Amino acid sequence: MSAIQLPAIHIAALIGTGWNERDFSPRFGTCTQAAQLLAQQNAASVGTRYNECTQALVIPERLIVRFRAYPLPRADFFKALDSYEYQSCEAPDWRMSTAKDLCQSLRAKAIRQLPGYEQSNCWIIEECQFTNWPHGNRSGNDA
Q: What is the pLDDT along the chain (143 residues), one digit of tens a residue?
A: 789 999 999 999 999 999 877 776 788 999 999 999 999 999 999 999 999 999 999 999 999 999 999 999 999 999 999 999 999 999 999 999 999 999 999 999 999 999 999 998 888 877 656 666 666 555 555 44
117 φ/ψ angles, rounded to the nearest 5 degrees: -60, -50
State pTM to two decimals: 0.86
CA distance 45 to 96: 14
The residues spanned by each domain of the chain are 8-130
